Amino acid sequence: MVTRTAVAALATCAALLTATGCSSGFDKADGNAPAQDTTGKQNLTVLIATSGDAETQAVKKAAAAYAKKSGNTVDVQVAKDMNQQLAQSFAGHKPPDVFYVNSDQFANYAKGGSLYAYGDEISDAEDFSQQLRTSFSYDGKLVCLPKDTSTLGLAINTDLWKKAGLTEQDYPKNWADLKKVADQLTGDGVTGLVTSDEFQRLGVFMKQAGGWITDSGQTKMTADTAQNAEGLSYVRSLLKSGSMKFAKQVDTSWGGEALGKGKAAMTIEGNWLDGGMKSDYPDVKYAVAPLPAGPAGQGTLAFSNCWGVAADSAHRTAGVDLVKYLTSADQQIAFADAFGVMPTRTSALKTYAAQEPQAKAWVDGSAYAQGPVTIAGFDKVLSQFNTDLQSLRTADPKKILADLQRNGEQAIAKGN
């Protein structure tokens, strides 16, 4: 579909063509594709959802560098409500040219035809994480490049650890170890392990038990299994013992706050924790260890957004060119330095690991991390799953998983 701007330009030039020799600057639309601006200088709009000023400034700095290099202009805008603003812009056929795409909304946008699939234009796409490339593929095609990534590790308040008479040799290697130290660290206003009451944290135990929500191709639900039940039952046992609590149960909003305020001896968080601790709790000492292995081995979760290019953009070639710049190895390292995320390029991740030794557990987790679920309509399924997990301490894990299985099967059937 041709954008309103393109229609206006074509109409104006059609009226003036014989008198002035006006050139529209737009290629003809091909089928339902929008007419493309063919002028030398492109004016791009980028919409981002930011974790804070550091991320905002880093993206604006990168955009300015690209503009200087390419001759194009780039206007970086910060969304107040990313999903709402994108939905409205798609509906009105006036989207930003380039934008962040949340993993939970990716398939919805791809199914709706809102995303321009540019993966086959990336000559070195295989340098990006295979797991994340799979997450951002639709109908067998890589749609958009993962912009950065984060994994989960076990963050430990080292002062509380030492106070309990523990050393680095006591860092838990498996579930039995974790239960033992969590019990030992609980008391005097401190809970051994505190984390969020959502699958984005508790899902690691399902993965470590050998389960997950879907199969690797995200075409079949695998929620209602003995492995997943074992993972959630282990969490429930910690919750019942009191050695594990959810963040809100200790009057905090997330694991990092609980760790920083000394209410948690351990938490499960991603590499964004580093920035939060430096900003809010600079005097609190902590270390990050790999998450303890479960019956099926090590397991963690990977989180990412991708750089979307609008199917309705009149500047798709320039948009893809900008994405290539923003996802270059050097730029991914710059973003990592600026706001704590990890590169999605394998080559850049090696450089990051060498520069940030304290992030070793998070970096190493990339090798066995489970990527996000990206199925059209599945955001509602996962929202209900999170609601159910809030009552895990007293609920039946098998019932929670059976409900997840049923809801997920309905979503997949509707999506197909």
Q: What span, in angstroms and rounded, lies between the C-alpha atoms of 307 and 321?
A: 12
Q: What strands, in cross-sheet order, belong to the sheet with 305-309?
A: 73-78, 43-48, 98-102, 305-309, 145-146
Question: Of 22-26, 260-264, 270-274, 338-342, which one has max mean pLDDT?
Answer: 260-264
Span between the terminal Cα atoms of the chain, in Å = 24
CA dihedral sign, ordered 397, 293, 277, 147: negative
Q: What is the mean pLDDT of residues 34-45?
A: 89
In whole angstroms, what is the distance from residue 159 CA to residue 286 CA?
8
Q: How far is CA 98 from CA 47, 71, 117, 256, 315, in A?
A: 7, 17, 12, 31, 9
Give mean pLDDT, residues 378-399. Answer: 97
pLDDT at residue 12, rounded to an integer: 32
- Which among 259, 285, 262 is positioned nearest to 270, based on CA atoms? 259
DSSP state of 67: H
> What pTM was computed for the model?
0.84
Q: Which pLDDT score is estimated for 27?
A: 52
Task: Show the tokens assigned to 340.
Answer: 């704590």
**Pairing assessment for the beta strands 73-78 and 43-48 based on DSSP bridges:** parallel
pLDDT at 308 over 50: yes
The predicted structure's pLDDT at residue 6: 34
Token pair of 300 as six digits = 């963690």
Query: What's the pLDDT score for residue 8?
Result: 33
CA–CA distance, 201 with 215 (Å, rounded to integer): 19
Between the alpha carbon of residue 364 and those of residues 49, 153, 279, 288, the distances in Å are 27, 10, 25, 12
Residue 321 has phi, psi (to 5 degrees) of: -60, -40
Which one has a higher pLDDT value, 89 or 50? 89
Inter-helix orientation angle 378-389/199-208, to 10°: 90
User: Residue 210: left if φ>0, alpha if ψ -120 to 50, beta else—which one?
Assistant: left
Q: Tell me, what's the pLDDT at 205?
A: 98
- To the nearest whole percent, how much of the chain has pLDDT over 90? 82
pLDDT value for 404:
98
Q: What is the mean pLDDT of residues 186-206?
A: 97
Whether pLDDT at 9 is above 70: no
Q: How far is CA 385 from CA 95, 203, 228, in A?
A: 31, 11, 13
Between CA 102 and CA 109, with CA 108 as vertex, the angle to 5 degrees is 75
- pLDDT tier at 19, thresholds 50, 70, 90: very low
Give the pLDDT mean for 59-76. 97
% of the chain residues with pLDDT over 70: 92
The mean pLDDT value of the chain amounts to 91
Tell me which residue has tokens 């992030």: 359
Three-state DSSP class for residue 259: helix
Question: Comparing 188-202, 237-251, 328-342, which segment has the lowest mean pLDDT?
Answer: 328-342
Alpha helices in 79-154 (DSSP H): 82-91, 103-111, 130-135
Residues 159-185 have pLDDT tens digits of: 999 999 999 999 999 999 999 999 999
For range 371-396, the mean pLDDT: 95
96 phi/psi in degrees, rounded to 5: -65, 160
Burial class (CB in 10 A: 0-12, 13-18, 19+), 356: middle
- Which has the closest alpha carbon to 310: 57, 75, 36, 78? 36
